[in-house]
Structure 1
Amino acid sequence: MHSLGRRTALVSALLALAVSQAALADDGFSYRFSGFGTLGYVQTNTNDLTFLNPGQEKGATKSGSLLVDSRLGAQVDVNFNDQLSATVQGLAQQDAKGQFEPTLEWAFLRYKPLDSVSVRVGRLGWPAYLVSDYRYVGYANPWLRAPLEVYDLAVLDYFDGGDVTWTHALGPGTVSVQVLAGSADTDLPDTSQQTAKLGVHQLYGGYVTYDIGDFHLRGGASTAHIDYTSGSTAPLFAGLQQAGFGSIADSLEANNKRATFVSLGGTYDAHNILATAEYGALHSSSFLARNNGWYGTLGYHFGSWTPYVTYGGTNKPSEVNSYGVPAFGPLLPLSQGVDALVSHTYQHTTSLGVRWDVYKNIDIKAQLDHVTPSANGGDFADVSPTYDGHSVNVYSAVVDFVF
């Protein structure tokens, strides 16, 4: 698998690569089972910060971790006839409690009233990112992990609801227009004793995908009302209310606040050249404020080997001047707490990696990330009070497989 022409053709089969597939009757009923997984190890060169993936509690420092990138998934596809089918996918990976627990990622019915129209209802993957359809299938992706500068912006993998997709030829390519609606509830890391709760309600979105030759493009936006409750931020908001800064607390709290996420990405993979780039931007009228990220990847295929380089960045502008809690006396802790929520955050990462396709369904990847976070740690967690803003090296290796 050495070009996106071949890789994209395989992607549709990656989640449905059958070890068993049977047509059980003449009426078109059939099923197929498939699976995928990653065994990974990651280590950094510091104990001042903790490296982890979005939605995880436990990460890697100098001591290293097998929990950050390791996962195992399975999927069953059932075709009842040419129009009606069902898909169920389960995924086990580290969750917000730091446990390796299985979750139900997908569980939907698909109905095709026309060849060009597909209607799905149930638990669906949120299609905001370029590789949303196969983000956790490491074998389908060029990098060791999706660049966190973009994929850490909006921590939502799936939603409960429905979508409609219309596909049609457009010029020399094919365009797909997808609209969705639904809601979601998910746990996020907070403290060692409890998780934070993210509620996404009245979720609506629209995405356009265009495939033309060896180019694949996707872009669109989602908007929703969000609720975020956290044991870490609740004392700060309560303190602001008691100190007479109720309007600031109400402004900062993510309590039924509107959030919008916009994304655009594209990939070219042909003639031994791999190039992909993506941009995402989150806007919310809460302490989440404005945040944007981007990355670009360039690689080259040498037989079964694909070395690549990625450069990405994320930036959250400062909102400190928007809030006027005096920084003196008993108000100092409140002022510091507000500043910590809305201060300028950024991060830049240069990644060097290589993929080796060992077998038709197995690859090995190694990646070095040189990360320069802001003084508050960027996308890292558990920032030590002694952290002085130094760069961090992240060393990773994985084995990806599908079956």
Structure 2
Amino acid sequence: MNRSQTLILVVLLFAGLVISPTARAVDFSYSAFGTIGAAISDEPIRYQRDIDDSGTFMRDSLLGGRLDAKFNEQWAASSQVTLAASDKEDDRIRPQLKWTMVSYRPANDWLIRVGRLSLGGLLHQQNLDVGVTYDMARLPREVYLLSSDYDFDGVSVTKTWNIGDYELALDGSFGMQKRYYRVFQEGTDRPSYYSADVTGGGLVATLKDYDHTTFRFGWHITDIDPNTTEGMLARYNFMPLGGGQYTLNPVNPFGYRSTFTVNTLFLGVEFPLGDFLVTCEGTAVLPNSVESAPENYAGYVSLSRKFDKWTPYITYAKIWSNGLDTWRRVKGATNPYLPGSPQALIADAYLADVASVIAVFDQSSVMLGTSYAITPQQKIKAEVMTTHIGERSAMFDGTLTHENVTTFSLSYNFAF
């Protein structure tokens, strides 16, 4: 049992001891939700881990259940479990514990939650797994890949103010998790997962009116402590060869730092514009001097309109890294061995692996799709997405440069 699991157990046991003597009757409720989704692209290189020209159900499909317990007007608890693609290995499905918490409301304008929470400042982060709650086939990966802190074990405190026609909520949070980072090593042609202990928190402010307009701004800071020197690497050791050429030290190419810090900024707005609904989100992911993970910026804008049960939409999303200099320099390293020799083949694979672990992105996507509400609790979604890769995108398991990839998606989403 790791420290996060221990924290959840202690919190739930403590809450049970506190609540039980005062709870006369417990009101239980439960719900189920899920997505059965298929996706296929016109490219054999995998995109977003699972999507290629063979088609897949792994990318979007999941099943989930939630149990809520209300002890009294102040105390409540909930637990949510999903069955979905594993976050620490490819081509595996496993159960995942989410949203397991105790909440305490000492007054109408205060809410304290302790347990497993989803921290971060994206508009749809807390309902990300419940596909029936939004109309896009999937939320733009350009923004939702790097910008969220999911499944932290910790505490969240929310204060709410009513200001005329507006409601303002300020949420402060702190937590910890064990996170798995996936990289695809192009030289050895395989994915690898590297774990790290992550501790972080921040502030998120949300302003809403009664005309379905939402503004959100947030900041999170996380300290990442890798459990291995591989994969999560901070500095590169370039060795000059003379004549302007250089290579990487084949023994220890990285000056390893045990911990580094990442600041993430969130900005989102959703508002009606005549008969249309406009949704915009932007993020900045700012690591502290980590060459293998440069600064990344992302955003999207989506326009949708409801026609009875149909809601067509068009979305444009983009992500870019603040300079690809380190990646370009690694790609430009010279293999010092005789071409064709066994040492040269090993060195070629090694240099390709080193370059591919660098989390750099230069891509944009246009999504055209629609949802159809069979009932308020059931939706069918269809989407065509064209993604343009510039110089490099780490979302693809291989080298694609200045190419377009088209993805087709169809899903059935429900919540009962």
Output the TM-score relative to the length of structure 2: 0.80
Q: 1:314 — aligned with what?
A: 319
The offset of 1:261, in angstroms, is: 0.7
Find the aligned partners of 2:233 and 2:295 in 1 and give their Cα distance. 23
Relative distance call for 1:322 and 1:101 in structure 2 (3 A) is: closer
Q: Does the 8 Å CA contact 1:71/1:91 hold for their aligned counterparts?
A: yes
Residue 30 in structure 1 maps to residue 27 in structure 2: yes
AA paired with 1:370? T
Matches within 5 A, 1:317-328: 317-320=322-325, 327-328=333-334
For structure 2, list consecutive stretches of 5 or more residues without a partner in the other structure: 1-21, 185-189, 240-247, 338-346
Q: SS at the partner of 1:149?
A: helix
Does structure 1 retain, via aligned residues, the 8 Å contact 2:121–2:148? no
- Is 1:209 the counterpart of 2:206? The answer is yes
- Give the equivalent residue in structure 1 for 2:370: 354
Structure 1 counterpart of 2:76, from 64, 81, 85: 85
Asked whether the 8 Å contact 1:168–1:175 carries over to 2, the reply is yes
Tell me, what secondary structure is at the counterpart of 2:132?
helix
**Amino acid across the alignment from 2:69:** V
Question: Does the CA-based 8 Å contact 2:78-2:102 persist in structure 1?
Answer: yes
Alignment-mate amino acid for residue 249 of structure 1: F
SS of match in other structure, 2:170? strand
Do structure 1's residue 226 and structure 2's residue 224 form an aligned pair? yes
Q: Which amino acid aligns with 1:105?
A: K
- Go from structure 1 to structure 2 and tell me whether the alpha carbon gap of 1:111 and 1:43 turns closer, same or farther (over 3 Å shift): same
Q: Distance between the aligned counterparts of 2:234 and 2:125, measured in 1? A: 35
Instruction: Write the distance in 1 (CA, Å) between the matches of 2:309 and 2:141.
Output: 26
Change (3 A) 1:155 1:368: same
Give CA deviations for 1:28-83 in whole Å, capped at 9, x if unaligned: 63110011100000000111x2122xxxxx51211100111001111111010000
Secondary structure in structure 2 of the residue aligned to 1:139 = helix
Q: CA 1:200–1:344 in 2, change beyond 3 Å: closer, same or farther?
A: closer
Q: Is the 8 Å Cα contact of residues 272 and 302 (structure 1) preserved in structure 2?
A: no
Match of 2:67 among 76, 82, 85: 76
**CA positional deviation for 1:244:** 10
Structure 1, 185-194 or 145-154: larger mean CA deviation: 185-194
Identity across the alignment (%): 22
Aligned residue type for 1:195: Y
Q: Structure 1 residues 309 and 329, CA, compared in 2 at 3 Å: closer, same or farther?
A: closer
2:275 counterpart of 1:260: no
1:114 to 107, 116, 122: 107
Residues 161, 169 of structure 2: 8 Å contact kept: yes
Instruction: Return 5+ residue gaps in structure 1 as ranges.
Output: 1-24, 53-57
Paired residue for 1:196? Answer: 194
Residue in structure 2 matching 1:42, options 39, 42, 50: 39
Q: Superposition RMSD on alpha carbons, in Å?
A: 3.1
1:276 corresponds to which residue?
279
Query: For 1:227-270, what per-residue CA distance to the aligned partner results, in whole angstroms no more than 9, with x for missing partners?
Result: 24568637997977994997x833xx563101111111111247
Greater shift in the superposed pair: 185-194 or 151-160: 185-194
Change (3 A) 1:41 1:238: same
Q: Secondary structure in 1 aligned to 2:55? A: coil
Q: Aligned AA for 1:353?
A: G
Residue-pair matches, total: 366
The alpha carbon displacement at 1:169 in A equals 0.5
Q: Structure 1 length normalisation: TM-score?
A: 0.82
Over 3 Å counting, the alpha-carbon distance change for 1:234 and 1:145 in structure 2 is closer
* Residue 120 of structure 1: how far off its partner (Å): 0.9
Which deviates more from structure 2 when the two are superposed, residues 117-126 or residues 231-240?
A: 231-240
Between the aligned partners of 1:111 and 1:235, the Cα distance in structure 2 is: 41
Q: Write the mapping of 1:1-400 to structure 2, written as runs, cut at 5 A.
A: 27=24, 29-47=26-44, 49-52=45-48, 58-95=49-86, 96-97=88-89, 98-154=91-147, 156-190=149-183, 195-201=193-199, 203-213=200-210, 214-228=212-226, 233=231, 243=249, 249-250=254-255, 253=256, 255-269=258-272, 272-285=275-288, 286=290, 287-320=292-325, 327-328=333-334, 330=336, 340=356, 345-376=361-392, 378-384=393-399, 387-400=400-413
1:160 maps to a residue whose letter is D
Q: Is the 8 A contact 2:147 2:285 kept in 1?
A: yes
Query: Residues 204, 294 of structure 1: CA spacing in aligned structure 2 closer, same or farther, 3 A cutoff?
Result: same
Distance change in 2, residues 1:321/1:67 (3 Å): closer
Q: CA deviation at 1:317?
A: 2.1
- The CA deviation at 1:389 is 2.9
Q: 1:380/1:76 Cα in 2 relative to 1: closer, same or farther (>3 Å)?
A: same
In structure 2, C-alpha distance between the alignment counterparts of 1:183 and 1:70, rounded to whole Å: 27
Measured at CA, do residues 399 and 254 of structure 1 come closer, stay the same or move farther in structure 2, by a change above 3 Å?
A: farther
- Rounded Cα–Cα distance in structure 2 between residues aligned with 1:236 and 1:342: 10
Residue 327 and residue 51 in structure 1: after superposition, are their counterparts in 2 closer, same or farther (change >3 A)?
Answer: closer
The separation in 1 between residues aligned to 2:54 and 2:361, in whole angstroms, is 26
